[in-house]
Structure 1
Amino acid sequence: MIHRKLIAPLLLGLAVVSGAAQAQQPIRLVVPFAAGGGTDQYVRLLASELTKKGTQVIVENKPGASGIIAADYVARSRPDGLTVLVSSLGTLANNTVLYDKMPYDPKKDFAPVSQIGYQPAIIVGRIDLPYKNIKEMVAYAKAHPGKINRGSPGEAILTNLAPLSFERNNGFSTTHVPFNGDAPAVQALLSNTIDIHGTSLTGSLSLIQAGKLRVLGVMDSQRLPQVPDAQTFKEQGYDFEAVLWYSLSVPSGTPGDSIRRLNKAVNEVIAQPDFVTRARAMGMEPRGGTPEELAKFVQTEFERWVPMLKSLNLPKQSH
């Protein structure tokens, strides 16, 4: 029989061992898109550098339902700082408008960690198309209704919603074909299944540089240095901008110490000159910040995009 005086030290020792074991567990970054896409590539770069710096990180892909599958999975996970959502405008705002029922509440079920990067949305197309830029595409779409098939990485993702808003504002339409991430959409583009694709630079840069795809327009105030010949929408006569951003969120109730540790590790990595160079080579601009700054930014984006989506009167989706 164990003496009563030995029980407390024994329990304390077990707690220490348990805590140490948990500390050695890797952090899982849950990506709402298919493996191989632009966001996935950037997250894997970040995970690799974090691991090199002593924060063990693995990437887990849970694509589908415009990020709802991944977001719900993380929202239901234990709030121990070990399961982290790669969040975006879709998962934290737009899904509330586009889906009739949400299994999670983006404002109540998550705590902010840090932004990790951003990039403007772009439209890419096959090189054999009868139009070479957005202005020519709009003219073609109006002259040939229903002839353009437009891909996107998901219904609620900005690279679908921004082009849709642009179409509504300029009096034409395309046939939307959603995919579970950028990678399968780009493959569909290359196989002539679709004509154009709303995306980001990361998932298509190598194909653009190889001359297999063409950037029709950039939704930003300035051209991208990686594809300097690609005109912005504004240069083509359309005052339209849309920037994709990515952040990290954890389940509500996650200890503040865990959030601060991850925030510090992430911000140290994305500030490294070598990391910035490698990120920009794939079309991503690193951007960090505090959890408080992320919370304010998300609220601002929510207030900008949600009313716009409601004005489009889009049919509710089921996940």
Structure 2
Amino acid sequence: MIYRNFIVGATIAASTAFGSAVAQQGVTKIVVPFNAGGGTDTYVRMLAEEMTKRDMRVIVENKPGGSGVIAADYVAKAKPDGTTLIMSFVGILGTNKVLFNKLPYDPQKDFTSVTQIAYQPTIIVGRTELPYRNIKEMVEYAKANPGKINRGSPGAAILSNLAPVAFEKSIGISTNHIPFSGDAQAIQAMLSDSIDIYGTSITSALPHVKSGKFRVLGVMDAQRLSQVPDAPTFKEMGYDFSAPLNYYLSVTGGTPKDVVDKLNRVVNQVIADPAFVTRARALGLEPRGGSPADMDKTLKGEIDRWVPVVESLNIPKI
């Protein structure tokens, strides 16, 4: 009996030790606030794959909806141990507080910056059979045909919706906004002719531009995109308007600094890898890293720009 109890006790102890080791090794989860299959989702999955090759176990989980609120609330309430991150952006960390009556999370207190991970400009794409070929012609059509253009977005609080809204207001036109819960759904709506134009990034639109189904009407940046060199910038069309899409990684607030530093180090190793950069650029994304402080500075600049813009639009709160 003594021998049997010893064996049972040893087995339990070994099992507990094994469980603790597994817990320590853990699985790091990056939550993407959009449906699977979109451009940023593809990029984050590439990032997770490369992080896994660097002594981490990283998976991606999609929690779409609510302009990022569902995903943000989930990560905000996670254990602050560095195993739950979110692909964040200025909507989640800034402009949502203007667009929602009551957020279930605090954008400042519930998240800790890890690093920026990428950048790309907002673009407007349209179906190729439409009677306008660029943003200037679209504006002329919108003025002559009020209420005739249906415009999709990946979410009301997403910058690729807010930028077109701000642009429309600045020149005195309006479109019918139809929000979706990510790029994948909006792309399908475009393909089924449910919407006419779409504020997005080249990442999700590029395959359909190449197939001839979509046309890039304008690029909200200072220079043209290498993936679609024939697509004009807004500035070339006479509109001094730009809207960069910056993507970040944030972790649950209160995560220890040494854990944040490790995450930052691994992510920056990945996005500095020439092979990864080549793959990212093929998607239309420019990898961009840095320190948590660098992310805070870039994010502050975005919040300082876009929160007043959103407030001026008088968009009804959700």
TM range (shorter): over 0.9
Shift of 1:19: 5.2
Partner of 2:293 in structure 1? 292
Query: What amino acid sits opposite 1:156 in the alignment?
Result: A
Dislocated runs of 4+, deviation >6 Å:
12-16
Change (3 A) 1:89 1:144: same
1:68-115 deviations in Å (ceiling 9; x for gaps): 000000000000100001100110011011011110010011100011
The 5 Å alignment of 1:107-122 reads: 107-122=108-123
Match of 2:188, SS?
helix
The 5 Å alignment of 1:1-319 reads: 20-317=21-318
Partner of 2:9 in structure 1? none
Query: What amino acid sits opposite 1:141 in the alignment?
Result: A
- Normalising by structure 2, what TM-score? 0.94
Query: What amino acid sits opposite 1:313 in the alignment?
Result: N
Distance in 1 between the 2:192 and 2:16 partners? 56
Query: What amino acid sits opposite 1:272 in the alignment?
Result: D
Shift of 1:21: 2.2
Distance in 1 between the 2:260 and 2:178 partners? 37
Distance in 2 between the 1:300 and 1:105 partners? 19
Distance in 2 between the 1:226 and 1:81 partners? 36
Query: What amino acid sits opposite 1:231 in the alignment?
Result: P
Distance in 1 between the 2:307 and 2:128 partners? 34
Number of residues paired by the alignment?
A: 307
1:119-173 deviations in Å (ceiling 9; x for gaps): 0000001000000000000000000000000000000000000000000000110
Match of 2:204, SS?
coil
Query: What amino acid sits opposite 2:125 in the alignment?
Result: V
Distance in 2 between the 1:54 and 1:77 partners? 22
Change (3 A) 1:82 1:216: same
Match of 1:261, SS?
helix
1:213-238 deviations in Å (ceiling 9; x for gaps): 10000000000001100000000000
Distance in 1 between the 2:232 and 2:189 partners? 24
Distance in 2 between the 1:14 and 1:300 partners? 50
Unaligned runs of 5+ in 2: 3-12
Unaligned runs of 5+ in 1: 2-11
Distance in 1 between the 2:258 and 2:35 partners? 31
Relative to structure 2, which stretch is displaced further, 235-244 or 16-25?
16-25
- Normalising by structure 1, what TM-score? 0.93
Distance in 2 between the 1:16 and 1:261 partners? 24
Shift of 1:16: 7.1
